[in-house]
Every structure is written in C-alpha cells, then in structure tokens.
Structure 1
Amino acid sequence: MVCVTTTDRRGALRAGAGLVTGGVLAAGCGSAAGSGQPAPTRPTATLSPAPAKATPRAAPAPRAFPGQPAQISHGPRDRPRVALTFHGQGDPALARALLTEAERRGARVTVLAVGSWLDEHPQLARRILDGGHDLGNHTQRHLSVNTLSEADARAEITGCADRLKRLTGSIGSWFRPSRAVTASPLVERLARAAGYPHVLSYDIDSLDHTRPGAAAVTRTVLTEVTAGSVVSLHLGYPDTVAALPDVLQELDRRQLHAVTTTELLS
C-alpha cells in the first residue's frame, strides 16, 4: 500500500486529528490504513528557552579608605579580623586547591595577580572573584619594580591593570609592588595615577617562598599574627596549600576571622 500525504488543513481538522495550523495529515499508513481513521499524530515538541547565562560577580574597583595611609601594612587592631594576601602566580592547580580550601572553611582572601600569569591562565581572574575574594595588581612581569625607570615602572603597573580590566571590568581592588614590601615614592605616585588610592603592603611575611615546609609556614604566621594583620603568602607553593588548614583552624580558635583586605578596612 502506498502511503498518501495530504495538506488539506480543513479535512484534517474535521477528522479530529488535532493537527496544528498548516500541519500534515498522513492516511493509509500503519494500522490505521484499513480502518479509515486518521493516523495518530506525533505530539509536537516544545522547546524550552535556553537557560539564562549566569551574570559574573561584579569586579570591585579600588576605593579610598579615609584615615588610612597611602601604603597600608595592617588594618584596625581593635577588631578580630586578619587578611591573608597571596601573590598570584605559579601552578594554577595549587591556586584552585588553596581557594577551595579557604572557601570550605568560610575564609576569604586577597590575591595580587601577576599580569603574565593572567595571560596564561585568564580564567583564574573570574574564579577568584566568584569565590568572594579580593583581586588586585602585582605588576605585569613581577620585576623589581622599585628599581625600574619611570616609564618601565608605569608599564608594569598599567600592563597588569589593563589585563584585569579586560578580564573582569575593573583594574582590581589593590596594587602591591613586586619584589618589595613597600613602594618607592615614584611607584606609589604611579600607582595612584593608575587608579589605586593605596599601596597594599603587609606586616607579616610567611616566608613561604623560601620553601621551609608547611609546619614552618604555619608556625611563622601563627607566631606573629594578631588582630588587623595583613599576611604575605603565595599561591604557587605546595607548602602554603598544606599549611592553610592548620592556619585557618588556629585563627578560628583564636576567634580571628580571615577576610578580604577590603573587609578588613571597611
């Protein structure tokens, strides 16, 4: 038997086939052929709208903190908060592991990213922000910025700022000079001109970049930390990742909360 197709819309509706306007009626096919009844129709598929793409967390811009110096080394000493700050470069797997551990324990940190690191791993900028952490500028190539000429130092600061802006919509919350605890007067001025009201320094150096072992990193931080401290750490060292759980556990025991630098000063 030949399967015959008709596009007689009125006949299809009279037959009760339930076809949509302009539909196609198939007759004489399958078991309905001998009964004279219209062939059953396939239900039309309803396409659900594509889910809306999640809006990324807005990247905060730098802000001025009245009463704070141009170069900030610690926060208020009368509140139970500390800021764990991380120089951002190295193995991205270690960075993700450290961020995940901090988040699991309810801690928020500050990452000062090197621009060349962001060039290689651009997705980490959004990963940091979406975890609720601060993200800042640690120069483009992590050179000794205080020793550079004015033009080269400016390029180091603005180069990283430009990458942060492109990736997140902001130049980052903070600037920290590379290979220096504090900025020279020239670098401080260039950072301000680039849009950073403050230079972020620190009052505790974990020395994790010397690879002393996790126990030594933990001991150095916990021996010196107090309310308002800003601690210098690094993302790219296994010792730091291994030390973080014990550091956070002891901070909790002392009722010192690990917060972003913005929260520390707010």
Structure 2
Amino acid sequence: MTPIDRRRALRAGAGVAVAAALATSCADDGGPAPAAPAAPAALSPTPSPGRARDTRTTTAAPAARRYPGQPAQITHGPRDGDRVALTFHGAGDPATANAVLAEAERAGARVTVLAVGDWLDEHPGLARRILDGGHDLGNHTRRHLTINEMPEADAYAEITGCAERLRRLTGSIGTWFRPSRTQYATPLVVRLARRAGYPHVLSYDLDSLDATSPGATAVTRTVAGQIQRGSVVSLHFGYADTVAALPPLLDDLHRRGLRAVTTTELLS
C-alpha cells in the first residue's frame, strides 16, 4: 500500500468512527440515529461543554405566522368555539415532560410547548418528540430570565438565542414566542419578538398555578373552575402534580364538550 493509500484509509476509518459515535449519542437521546454526521446550520451556536449535541437533519417544523385580526399579544382564542389551548413551559426533568406528552396523547389532546433554549441544549431529542406528537413547539427565551427587565440588546439575544436552537433542531424558529417570568411582554419585548420573526407574543388568560406545587387536585380544580371557550392555559413540564392532574382535567374538558388543541389550531 502506498503512503497516499494509507492516508486515505485512515481518513475513511475516522469518518466511520465519528458516524458511529453520533449514532450512539442520538440513540441515547431517544431519537433515530442518522446514517452519517450532518453539518450544523450556519446560525448554530457552539454547544456548551458537557451538553448533548444533536445534528440530525429533519423536515422543517411549522414556523411562526401572522394571524390577521389578532393582537400583537394574544391571551386567548375565539370564545364561540369548542377549543382551548393547554400551553407548557418547556423545562425540567425530561421524564416528566414525556409523561405529560403521553397523557395528552392518550386522551387525543394536542398541546403547545414553549421551550427554554438551554433545556433544548441539554435534551435536544425532545424537540422532535414534541413535534412528532402533533404538538406546537415555540420559544420561551434562551435562559428563562426576567426578560421585561433586561436591556434591549440582552432581551433580543434571549429571544434569538432560543430561536437559533429551535432552527438548528427543527428547521424553523418555532410557532410561538412567550416571554419568560411574566404573563405579559412589555411593548419593547413585543417589538423585539417581531424583529426576531414572531408576529405575535403568546400570553394566556388562565394560570394553573401548577408551578407552586399545590397538589394535582388543586391544579385540576383551578383550571376546570376558570377555563372558558378559547382559553389559553399556562402549565409546566417538570412537576409531578401536572402529570397527575392532566387525565382528570382532560376528562372534565371532554364532558363539557371542549377540545384541547394546539394554539395554532385554536386560532386557525
């Protein structure tokens, strides 16, 4: 074998090793392994040390869109229909997140997940898991800081930082933007979200208070007692109360003739 042939063989062997390592990483994350390593998109940030990296290529996910007649900051959908939107703060233990999704799907419900960018870095396979379940996936800032109190440049970086992660994982910036640590965005944050590609900020008209860990019965009672047609409900991944509250809550909605759908479906 000539020296040139030897160098070619070594390069080919290295390529196989890299592909095998990526396949193992993706399999550990719960998603399908790629046939070969894919180059990251141009806007992809460099992952922090020790965090998982997902370079799978997938069909582009639905992107944010403008809804004529809807305000820049949406709190609820039509009050004359039979639909409601259950929206989830996307962070916390991935096992709990998967349990919430499984309970929703078991009841034929679809939800909206507003994911924190750092959480997506740590659990990249959940982005595709959410979309493959028929759910909406959106942006809840990169680090989940108090965005309304941040300087303009920092607030914009929080929005675009999560948007870049969503684009890297799904092919789009996501369907919605929700500000972090607040129900309502300031006019400045609304403008920054629009600049980043989100025509609307997604707020809500009903807080389940599940993040206070009041117990599953209290979560169900709060939502069932206040929900209206067209309501957008704020809930969270990462809390056992939320998982336990979901089946009786969905049963209650069904008895009342209400359907839990994605926010996109709610407003379509």
Whether TM-score is above 0.5 comes out as yes
Equivalent in 67, 70, 73 of residue 71 of structure 1: 73
Deviation per residue, 1:236-260 (Å, 9 max, x gap): 1100000000000000000100000
SS of 2:80's partner is coil
CA shift, 1:57, in A, is 5.6
Q: Which has the larger radius of gyration?
A: 1
Aligned residue in 2 for 1:181: 183
Deviation per residue, 1:103-130 (Å, 9 max, x gap): 1110000000000000000000000000
Contact 1:204/1:229 (CA < 8 Å) preserved in 2? Answer: yes
Contact 2:120/2:126 (CA < 8 Å) preserved in 1? Answer: yes
Unaligned runs of 5+ in 1: 1-51
The sequence identity of aligned pairs, in percent, is 75
Matches of residues 209-248 of structure 1 in structure 2 within 5 Å?
Answer: 209-248=211-250
Unaligned runs of 5+ in 2: 1-33, 36-56
CA shift, 1:226, in A, is 1.1
SS of 2:161's partner is helix
Contact 1:81/1:257 (CA < 8 Å) preserved in 2? Answer: yes
Contact 1:83/1:231 (CA < 8 Å) preserved in 2? Answer: yes
Contact 1:57/1:130 (CA < 8 Å) preserved in 2? Answer: no
CA distance in 2, matches of 1:128, 1:75: 22
CA distance in 2, matches of 1:130, 1:57: 11
1:261 aligns with 2:263: yes
Structure 1 residues 138 and 126 mapped into 2: Cα distance closer, same or farther (>3 Å)? same
SS of 2:168's partner is helix
Equivalent in 52, 60, 63 of residue 61 of structure 1: 63
Deviation per residue, 1:195-227 (Å, 9 max, x gap): 000000000000000000000000000000011
| Aligned-CA RMSD value | 1.5
TM-score under structure 1 length normalisation: 0.79
Equivalent in 97, 108, 119 of residue 95 of structure 1: 97
Aligned residue in 2 for 1:147: 149
Aligned residues: 215
1:117 aligns with 2:112: no
Moved over 2 A (4+): 55-58
Amino acid at match of 1:117: W
Equivalent in 194, 197, 207 of residue 196 of structure 2: 194
Equivalent in 68, 84, 89 of residue 82 of structure 1: 84
CA distance in 2, matches of 1:149, 1:228: 34
More helix by share: 2
TM-score under structure 2 length normalisation: 0.78
Contact 2:59/2:171 (CA < 8 Å) preserved in 1? Answer: no
CA distance in 2, matches of 1:255, 1:236: 28
SS of 1:129's partner is helix
Equivalent in 168, 171, 174 of residue 169 of structure 1: 171
Structure 1 residues 110 and 57 mapped into 2: Cα distance closer, same or farther (>3 Å)? farther
Structure 1 residues 57 and 212 mapped into 2: Cα distance closer, same or farther (>3 Å)? farther
